[in-house]
Homo-oligomer: A and B are copies of this chain.
Amino acid sequence: MNAAQTARSVAATAEAAATASREWARADRTVRAAALDAVAARLDAAADELVPTAMRETHLPEPRLRGELGRTTFQLRLFAEVLRDGSYLDARIDTADPEWPMGPRPDIRRTLVPLGPVAVFAASNFPFAFSVIGGDSASALAAGNAVVVKTHPGHPDLSAATAAVVVAALAGDGAPQDLFQLVSGIDEGRELLLAPQIRAGAFTGSIAGGRALFDLAQQRPDPIPFFGELGSVNPVFVTREAARRRAEEITAGFVGSFTLGAGQFCTKPGVLVHPRDSDLRELLAAHDLPAPAPLLNDRIQQGYVAGLGTLAGNDGVEPLRFDDGALADPPAPSLVATDLKYVLDNPAVLDEVFGPASLLVAYDDEDELLALAELLPGQLTATVVGEEDDRIAPALLERLADRAGRVLWNQWPTGVTVSHAQQHGGPYPATTAPGTTSVGTAAITRFLRPVAFQNLPQSLLPAELRDGGPAPALVNGTPSGGSR
């Protein structure tokens, strides 16, 4: 397509999404919940068609992909539960109060309404859970919005096959036509994000790609929210006492985590900060590493080789597990090493390298950990491997909570459960919207907007704002009603 054709085609897609979004916003929450359940059921039933396609296009192994599809359908069903419960609406009812201290208060009632059509930019590394019908699409649909997915070029056939399943399930359940659409291509994605009908963007991917789209969304005549999950090195801090007591356990856990899925997780621990006077470095120098595994696609492979080459090329960074195989295709897992003082002077060594590599950082004095924690750019996760009575623990955890969306203790950051309390986010560059999460039930809030209704008759109020309505509500400041 030439530029004009692309623009016309995307404009028609966006217009159809706006019409569908209006109708979907009107649908009862239980109707939307049933549709999400129907999509989950059809996806589960299509596993034997979808998984082989995913294997072919992503080089990921079958058990991982079947597990990921299960996570994806679980996520859809969990959002269906969220819809049926209704707490997510954060309904608030303040009845008229002539004695309100600042002056008579009118009857005012607040709920959340859908933002409108959402543009979802799919990721490559989770071809189910963060792609066509992953967390962004599921939460945007649950919130009551039409979705247009810009597919990832890494798995085009899987994207089309997945969308076909989703569209068939939605149609079978009576959802509006064009509620769920795809576009492909970089120009198409940009046009989509600029379409006046699109009211929010969501993205999982690289810092460069995410920043470019974020900038585009903010430079619109009417800027829109853009929820980008970009990059993170997920540092792990090992205290002196933990290294002394549990060096072998830590070694095994760390190797398992940084090489999981060939290191292609946004939560891969890319930095391990350890006491110089421990056995960790020696143990890691000798520990078995997994065999080389092909990366997702050529672009990821090239990016990995370039990034790891830059990191290893620093004069203060030395090889630990880094031979000819490290930069081969497929690459052997590798480890390079430096010390904390070098990192403080050369923070660029903290740049994310997406793939099976990690950087060991040796420290001499535990207090140096606090200096490094303060220097960190925003992170999805930060981990402390420590003992409960470690003197440094409270201060270190406090500083890491100021820099990361999830702070772990004696566990590894890879593996992000989908639950009520999950938080997958963090200050920039971890995300472009630090107040939000892209995983867990709270992710739905991204695609909603509060509206207060003042002095409306009961008959004209949204159902959840009527007296004794069907959802939990905060009534004059006190929780009441619904399932709460």
Contact = CB atoms under 8 A, between A and B. Distances in A.
A319 interface: no
A314 interface: no
Nearest to A450: B423
B452 A423 contact: yes
A71 to B, nearest CB: 5
Contact of A477 (B71, B106, B420): B420
Contacts of A218: 214-215, 218, 223
Identical copies of this chain, number: 2
Contacts of A5: none
B222 A428 contact: yes
Among A93, A218, A419, A476, the most chain B Cβ lie within 10 Å of the Cβ of: A419
Contact of A455 (B22, B410, B421, B474): B410
Contacts of A437: 450
A401 B113 contact: yes
Given A422-B108, A435-B445, A102 B417 contact: yes
Given A419-B108, A422-B108, A448-B435, A454 B411 contact: yes
B388 A460 contact: yes
B420 A449 contact: no
Interface in A99-117: 100-103, 105-106, 108-110, 113, 115-116
A409 B454 contact: yes
Interface in A60-91: 67, 70-71, 74-75, 85, 87, 90
B455 A450 contact: no
Contact of A449 (B87, B415, B434): B434
Given A92-B420, A420-B94, A405 B452 contact: yes
Among A115, A435, A474, A477, the most chain B Cβ lie within 10 Å of the Cβ of: A435
A350 interface: no
Contacts of A411: 106, 454-455
Interface in A456-484: 456-457, 459-460, 472, 474, 476-477, 479, 484
A425 B450 contact: yes
Given A450-B425, A452-B407, A484-B479, A417 B105 contact: yes
Contacts of A106: 411, 417
A246 to B, nearest CB: 15
Contact of A224 (B85, B199, B224, B428): B428
B457 A417 contact: no
A225 B431 CA distance: 11
A377 interface: yes
A164 B283 CA distance: 60
A427 interface: yes
B418 A102 contact: yes
A150 interface: no
A92 B398 CA distance: 19
A167 B419 CA distance: 43
A393 interface: yes
A451 interface: yes
Interface string A217-234: 011001111000000000
A428 B110 contact: no
A402 interface: yes
A449 B436 CA distance: 7
A404 interface: yes
A74 B101 contact: yes
B108 A421 contact: yes
A475 to B, nearest CB: 9
Given A25-B402, A108-B421, A110-B423, 8 more contacts: A75-B102, A92-B421, A102-B417, A108-B406, A223-B432, A406-B451, A411-B454, A435-B449
29 contacts: A74-B101, A74-B102, A85-B477, A87-B474, A92-B421, A94-B417, A94-B422, A106-B411, A108-B421, A109-B421, A115-B435, A199-B427, A215-B218, A223-B432, A394-B460, A401-B451, A404-B451, A405-B449, A406-B451, A409-B454, A409-B460, A420-B474, A421-B474, A425-B449, A425-B450, A434-B449, A437-B450, A472-B479, A479-B484
